[in-house]
Structure 1
Amino acid sequence: MAAVFGLCSLVASEAQAGERVLRLGYLFSQTSQLGAGAERFATEVAARTGGAVRVEPYPNGTVGGEVEMVEELRAGHLDMAFITSAPFAGILPEFGVFDIPFLFRNAAHAHAVFDGPIGRDYLQKFSAKGLVALAWGENGMRHITNAKRPIAGPEDLKGLSMRVPQSEIMLTGFRSLGVKAEPLAFPALYGALQSGQFDGQENPIAVITASHFAKVQRHLTLSGHVYSWAALVMSRSAWDALTEDERAAFTQAARLGGQVSREVAGKAEREGVEALRKSGMSVVATIDRAAFERSLEAASAGFSKTFGAETIRQIKSVQ
């Protein structure tokens, strides 16, 4: 890792005279929702700063997994990252509320929450950990895949082994449904599914298609159980080095990049399911959501105690 960041620093130092290069890491491919958002962000920064600043994207986790990227941001060794929600509940526990299963009705509900007062308040919370969050983006609504059987209700999940992100809330939710849920870094996931280490996993459609999970998973369930947000985040040192005009340009560019990630994730949600079906996956399009929520009642009581029933009520009530 030190060698990678050393090489990145060397590349930056050899940039054209007068041009500053900022490194932006993200986990997925350049064609993913994060990749599309990162590319739009980089293009906008170049245009809005008159070429004075260049954002250089590093896709596919080439600068580390998301937990590592957060730590590198905090240490000032990485300038920027487009990071999904997965690692943040472990760093800022209050963000775990968004990982509660079936908190959001759909992506439109989530957008209304994150674009409103609640989202603006949470965007400021990153500063407590030495990070500057510029804008919300999107990973997408998370859906379940597995190699064993169709999943339509909570009883169908019992006994399955599933990879779940490094989120205690999501782990608790799935384990309460009888799943043998364990965390695993995303770059190792395909191999773990291929080897049979896990029966299944859950991710947005855009990730499922881009990662070719249809080759190692037979069944897709459109559960939409968690909305996975993303955020364009800067290190404090990189932000402090910008002029006021550049900060405005970065913020505006980040909002546009975040919107593009939503558009790509939404398009994948609409079109990707049919592509997965054609590739051989069986698709359960409708689940018994009420049954899932009943099965999660014990876990939900714990979530209310942790995050506050009123906080959860406010999020659910946003229209």
Structure 2
Amino acid sequence: MKSLLTCLSLMVLGIGTALFIGFHDRFSTEEPYYDDEQEGLKDQIVFKFSHVVAENTPKGRAANKFADLVYQKSGGTIKVEVFPNGSLYSDNEEINALQNGDVQFIAPSTSKLGSLSPEWGVLDLPYAFTNYKAVQEGLNGKIGTRLFASLEKHHLKGLAYWTNGFKQLTSNKGPIFTPDDLKGQALRIMPSSVIEDQYRLLGAHPRQDSFNSTFQLLESNLVDGEENTISNIYSKKFYNVQDYLTISNHGYLGYAVMTDEHFWNSQTEKTRTILTEAMRETTEWNEASAEKMNKDQLEEIKKNSSIHIHVLSKAEKNTWMKRLDPIYGQYEQVIGRGLVQDLLSLRREP
């Protein structure tokens, strides 16, 4: 009886060992087993796109559209993961992240690029563009070409210009009708010496800080106001912590979509073609939709808040332009006479 039990135990052990070896051999070959869905994931390339604004803004929507187009055009083999609201990097960190290879695409505001070349300050000059037509003419022409060329020494590649719109003024310290109304006011601005000097010229106290710090600065009364496009004022709900809004259109806010030159050159021709076509289509869509988005969101602000809104008249705007014109002379040598003159020629167009 004892010997019979021993034999049965050995048989069970032998069968178990054989089953284990067969199972292990199936899943331990040099070519692992994948089903069709797993094979697709194995072949997919993933790129990261970091930006600092909300998704329901011109830049946020454009980034998502670009990702969708890349996925469609590549048949799902290329995926662009979009990280909005500074969730991956702040606007002060994203250029370094791009150069270090931690992300593959960013779209900083053009004001941030003054740290790379003073020529970018041309887009921060007051009343640089008088309408959206002038914006596209400038950025798709000599001005835009020259600015992208300035990135090459940093091994960065400019892919496209995306438009947000024109900047307006908000404040908690009384309505803003004339330049003198800004005297003594503390305002959050983007990092830009050109912008800073504009407000110092008007007697204000500009404070350079990151975009995602703006709401807290306003809410805690560390600043009296700020300048921004309607889409940013709306998406970040600045109108909830500000009493006055002036539609001044005094400055332009746009973005330079960029990638790292080494990353770009390391891609296959097919991948670069897909990315280029998707970027071109996205940019055309952005140019057509940004103006409407700002108009629609201004109407939403009117409906959903008690903020007091003043629209500068033509005569009032001319007063602002004359007061700020000395900035052009101050920065002509810094930015470059050619760029400044190209911009002024656009301003003179009807």
State TM-score, norm by structure 1.
0.90
Q: How many residues align?
A: 306
Look up the equivalent residue of 2:54 and give its one-letter code. Answer: S
1:139 alignment counterpart: 164
Q: 1:209 aligns with which of 234, 239, 259?
A: 234
**Which stretch of the first structure deviates more once superposed, 171-180 or 280-289?**
280-289
- Match of residue 321 from structure 2: 293
Match of 1:122 among 147, 158, 163: 147
Residue 176 of structure 1 pairs with residue 201 of structure 2? yes
1:281 lines up with 2:307 in the alignment = yes
How far residue 264 of structure 1 moved from its aligned partner, in angstroms, is 4.0
Deviation at 1:188, TM superposition (A): 1.0
Give structure 1 stretches of 5+ with no counterpart. Answer: 1-14
For 1:89-109, what per-residue CA distance to the aligned partner results, in whole angstroms no more than 9, with x for missing partners?
A: 122211111111112112221
Residue-by-residue CA offset, 1:156-195 (whole Å, 9 max, x unaligned): 1111110010011101111111111110111111011001
Which residue is 1:3 aligned to? none
What are the equivalent positions in structure 2 for 1:189-228 lying under 5 Å apart?
Answer: 189-228=214-253
Please identify the structure whose Cα radius of gyration is greater: 2
Partner of 1:5: none
**Counterpart amino acid of residue 318 in structure 2:** A
TM-aligned CA distance change 1:316 to 1:248, over 3 Å: farther
1:308 maps to 2:336: yes
CA separation in 1, counterparts of 2:343 and 2:267? Answer: 34
Q: State the Cα distance separating 1:201 from its structure 2 match.
A: 0.3
Mind listing any 5+ residue stretches in structure 2 that lack a counterpart? 1-39
In the TM superposition, residue 151 of structure 1 has moved relative to its aligned partner by 1.1
* Superposed CA offset, 1:179-221 (max 9, x none): 1111011111101100100100011111000000111011111
- Compare 147-156 and 117-126 and name the one that shifted more: 117-126
Letter of the 1:290 partner, please give it: N
Query: Quick one: structure 1 residues 309 and 225, their matched pair in 2 at CA, closer, same or farther if it must change by over 3 Å?
Result: same
Give the direction of change, closer, same or farther, for the CA distance of 1:261–1:310 in structure 2 (3 Å limit). same
Tell me the percent identity. 26
Q: Which of 58, 68, 72 does residue 33 from structure 1 map onto?
A: 58
Aligned residues of 1:32 and 1:206 also touching (Cα < 8 A)? yes
Are 1:209 and 1:276, in contact at CA under 8 Å, matched by a contact in 2? yes
Whether the aligned pair in 2 keeps the contact of 1:143 and 1:205 (CA below 8 Å) is yes
How far apart are the structure 1 equivalents of 2:148 and 2:336? 19
- Does residue 267 of structure 2 align to residue 242 of structure 1? yes
Aligned match of 1:110: 135
> 1:162, 1:180 within 8 Å by CA — same for their partners in 2?
yes
Q: Distance in 1 between matches of 2:146 and 2:328?
A: 23
| Corresponding position of 1:49 | 74
Residue identity matched to 2:344: K
